[in-house]
Structure 1
């Protein structure tokens, strides 16, 4: 039987280690185990072996763009919540492209940390609700 427990709650993909490590530490201290990587390929490799509940993707990554990573993540797991992380002045067309590629939402890096935390916690709560709903539907259909 496949392990259904996630290895971490958040996987953060950002090319700025100060941002990703700070956010991972902040989330972990708030009780949300988090991992961070600076590269899209490492994120994809990590997800091929482990599970997480939410992925946060910077749109401006080296050697790729966030939209391509969103599409690759969506191909791996159609239900995985993906939040795009943007900077002020980020091109609106980039955000729209990421949303079309499968991102569930976006958030600005410039939000105060508490607001950013509230957004990510809400996404995590919705992901858990949906996972529980799917599990219960399977149990009910299996029992019928």
Structure 2
């Protein structure tokens, strides 16, 4: 069974890089740059995992996380941050239902392991 991953980031180069990497690993990917696009794709694509930037341009990633978990409580969400590991933000993400978190600076192999850990 092919795993599906949705990559959500307002930086197109991040979506492209991670998308190409996960596709090489045999996963089907989709990408979103905005909160609304993310929610539409979660509804339609039914991803196994959402890789969600905590700091989207138009909406707080934590609010998007809450909306995903309310509509699709079984969808796994891994939060991404480019700010390093900020304890308060990560604690809040876990309190809102995040299944994990990663730094955007991680090597792709470590990112893959983080995603695999939360896959159903």
Q: Same fold (TM over 0.5)?
A: yes
Question: What's the RMSD between the two structures over aligned residues?
Answer: 1.7
Distance 1:89 1:109 in 2: 8
Is 1:48 the counterpart of 2:63? The answer is: no
Of the candidates 60, 65, 69, which is equivalent to residue 64 of structure 2? 69
Is 1:31 the counterpart of 2:26? The answer is: yes
CA deviation after TM superposition for structure 1 residue 49, in Å: 2.4
CA deviation after TM superposition for structure 1 residue 90, in Å: 5.0
Structure 2 contact 85–103 (Cα < 8 Å) conserved: no
Distance 1:98 1:68 in 2: 9
Q: In structure 2, the residue corresponding to 1:52 is in which secondary structure?
A: coil
Structure 2 contact 53–81 (Cα < 8 Å) conserved: yes
TM-score norm. by structure 2 comes to 0.91
Q: In structure 1, the residue corresponding to 2:102 is in which secondary structure?
A: strand
Cα deviations by residue, 1:38-62 (Å, 9 ceiling, x for unpaired): 1111011122223110111100001
Structure 1 contact 14–39 (Cα < 8 Å) conserved: yes
Structure of greater relative contact order (alpha carbons < 8 Å, 6+ residues apart): 2
Structure 1, unpaired ranges of 5+? 128-144
Distance 2:78 2:112 in 1: 12
TM-score norm. by structure 1 comes to 0.77
